């Protein structure tokens, strides 16, 4: 049984692959570097020249240098994916409590109704809200906007991401935007992305939507003729050195952290779960855990 057939339809598993778009020769150098890296760890990747890129994605603007195709990448609809995993956990004996947590400590969880849930080990995997529940964690909220279009099946065939982060996008100290478009199973296009610090409100910042869509139209000019049906915001969990916190808290050995993944929480969730389980059970891990331990010394890249 393949993964797609094992998931409910509303999870919207789409194995469209990712195309990392290179605007110029400098970015094509990064394409070749990324391909070599992926090849070294057994991930399929293919370099596309300008002609091949235009054939793969006809709505991209002319004149792009090429791209890196990662054909096995896939996306899901996260809320339904989370619900599916929760149901699987319950089927294996987990208990779901519909009471909000107020504080997470190693010995257990203080709940909003005043009760306390005791535990031998507690894991704080609450993303951007980790610091609210466990004060002192080095995690900051980083706001993002998304736009979704009406249904245009086949208009974009792959997830498209720009390679020009160093030159044009996602500064770690200022508000930023970058080109990122995903085709959904519904035929809709999910358009991102933006990043903001110091914007803790969930309301739409119109100027960021305008910047984000302008960036997207630089790569896909035809987006100007499509209709958007909704936009919304969310928060990523960011750390000073841009690496997640995975492992025991330096202040409480019974409290484990699994947060701070910025925009890669879903992508790396399964690996994060394995790293946490390995540490709790004193097992060797497939990769070194030291770069992600919460007690590491972090340089503040946000300054």
Taking only the tens place, the pLDDT of each residue in 207-234 is 999 999 999 999 999 999 999 999 999 9
pLDDT reading at 67 higher than 80: yes
Could you tell me if 276 and 256 are in contact, meaning their C-beta atoms sit under 8 angstroms apart?
yes
pLDDT reading at 301 higher than 60: no
Give me 154's structure tokens: 């086949």
Higher pLDDT, 169 or 203: 203
Return the pLDDT at 173. Answer: 62
Q: Bridge partners of 66?
A: 22, 49
Rg (Cα) of the chain, in Å, rounded?
A: 21
Q: What range defines the domain where residue 43 resides?
A: 3-70
Is 279 part of a structural domain of the chain? Answer: yes
174: pLDDT confidence band, cut at 50, 70 and 90? Answer: confident
pLDDT above 70 coverage of the chain, percent: 94
CA 275 to chain centre: 18
pLDDT reading at 303 higher than 90: no
Could you tell me if 177 and 142 are in contact, meaning their C-beta atoms sit under 8 angstroms apart?
no
CA dist 143 and 141 (Å) reads 6
Distance set, CA 129 to CA 132, 237, 293 (Å):
5, 8, 19
Which whole number is the average pLDDT over 256-284? 94
Is 212 part of a structural domain of the chain? Answer: no
> Are 62 and 105 found together in one domain?
no
Helix (H) or strand (E) run with residue 253 in it: strand 252-259
Return the pLDDT at 164. Answer: 78
Is 10 part of a structural domain of the chain? Answer: yes
CA dist 90 and 115 (Å) reads 22
The residues, any chain, with a CB within 8 Å of residue 34's CB and separated by 6 or more, are 20, 45, 68
Is 271 part of a structural domain of the chain? Answer: yes
CA 93 to chain centre: 28
298: pLDDT confidence band, cut at 50, 70 and 90? Answer: confident
Return the pLDDT at 200. Answer: 83
Is 230 part of a structural domain of the chain? Answer: no
Q: Say which residue the tokens 């195709």 belong to.
A: 69
- Which of 54, 70, 86 delimits the end of a domain? 70
Which of 192, 191, 190, 188 lies closest to 154, judged by CA?
188
Backbone angle region of 154, left / alpha / beta, with phi > 0 → left and psi within -120 to 50 → alpha: left
Return the pLDDT at 169. Answer: 42
3-state secondary structure of 213: helix
pLDDT digits (tens, 9 = 90+) for 124-163: 999 999 999 999 998 999 999 999 999 999 999 999 999 9
Domain count along the chain: 2
Return the pLDDT at 302. Answer: 47
pLDDT reading at 235 higher than 60: yes
pLDDT digits (tens, 9 = 90+) for 277-297: 999 999 999 999 999 999 998
pLDDT reading at 11 higher than 70: yes
Is 59 part of a structural domain of the chain? Answer: yes
Is 284 part of a structural domain of the chain? Answer: yes
Computed over every residue of the chain, the mean pLDDT equals 92
pLDDT digits (tens, 9 = 90+) for 99-122: 999 999 999 999 999 999 999 999
CATH number at residue 272: 3.50.50.60
pTM score, whole prediction: 0.87
CATH number at residue 56: 3.30.9.10
20: pLDDT confidence band, cut at 50, 70 and 90? Answer: very high
Residue 278 phi, psi (nearest 5): -60, -40
CA dist 57 and 59 (Å) reads 6
pLDDT reading at 16 higher than 50: yes
Return the pLDDT at 94. Answer: 94
> Are 50 and 105 found together in one domain?
no
Is 275 part of a structural domain of the chain? Answer: yes
Return the pLDDT at 197. Answer: 84
Which whole number is the average pLDDT over 168-190? 83
CA dist 235 and 266 (Å) reads 13
CA dist 218 and 178 (Å) reads 10
Return the pLDDT at 6. Answer: 85
What is the C-alpha end-to-end distance of the chain, expressed in Å? Answer: 48
Could you tell me if 195 and 175 are in contact, meaning their C-beta atoms sit under 8 angstroms apart?
yes
> Are 8 and 126 found together in one domain?
no
> Are 59 and 112 found together in one domain?
no
In eight-state DSSP terms, residue 156 is -
């Amino acid at each position: 049984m393949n993964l797609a057939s094992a998931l409910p339809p509303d999870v919207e598993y789409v194995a469209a692959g990712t195309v990392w778009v290179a605007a110029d020769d400098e970015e094509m150098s990064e394409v070749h570097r990324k391909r070599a890296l992926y090849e070294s760890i057994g991930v399929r990747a293919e370099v596309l020249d300008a002609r091949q890129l235009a054939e793969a994605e006809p709505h991209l603007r002319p004149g792009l240098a090429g791209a890196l195709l990662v054909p096995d990448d896939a996306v899901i609809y996260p809320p339904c994916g989370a619900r599916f995993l929760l149901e699987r956990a319950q089927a294996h004996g987990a208990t779901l409590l519909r009471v909000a947590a107020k504080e997470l400590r190693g010995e257990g969880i203080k709940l909003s109704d005043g009760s306390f849930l005791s535990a031998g080990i507690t894991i704080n995997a609450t993303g951007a809200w980790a610091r609210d529940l466990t004060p002192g964690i080095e995690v900051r909220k980083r706001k993002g906007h998304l736009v979704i279009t009406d249904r245009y099946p086949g208009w974009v065939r792959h997830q498209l991401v720009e390679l020009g982060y160093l030159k044009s996008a996602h500064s770690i100290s200022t508000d930023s935007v970058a080109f990122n478009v995903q085709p959904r199973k519904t035929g809709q296009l999910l358009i991102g992305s933006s990043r903001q610090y110091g914007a803790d409100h969930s309301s739409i910042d119109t100027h960021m939507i305008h910047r984000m869509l302008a960036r997207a139209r630089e790569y896909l000019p035809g987006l100007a003729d499509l209709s958007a049906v909704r936009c919304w915001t969310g928060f990523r969990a960011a750390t000073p050195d841009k690496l997640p916190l995975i492992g025991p808290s330096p202040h409480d050995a019974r409290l484990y952290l699994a947060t701070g993944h910025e925009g890669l929480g879903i992508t790396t969730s399964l690996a994060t779960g394995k790293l946490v389980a390995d540490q709790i059970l004193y097992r060797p891990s497939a990769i070194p855990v030291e770069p992600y331990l919460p007690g590491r010394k972090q340089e503040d890249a946000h300054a």
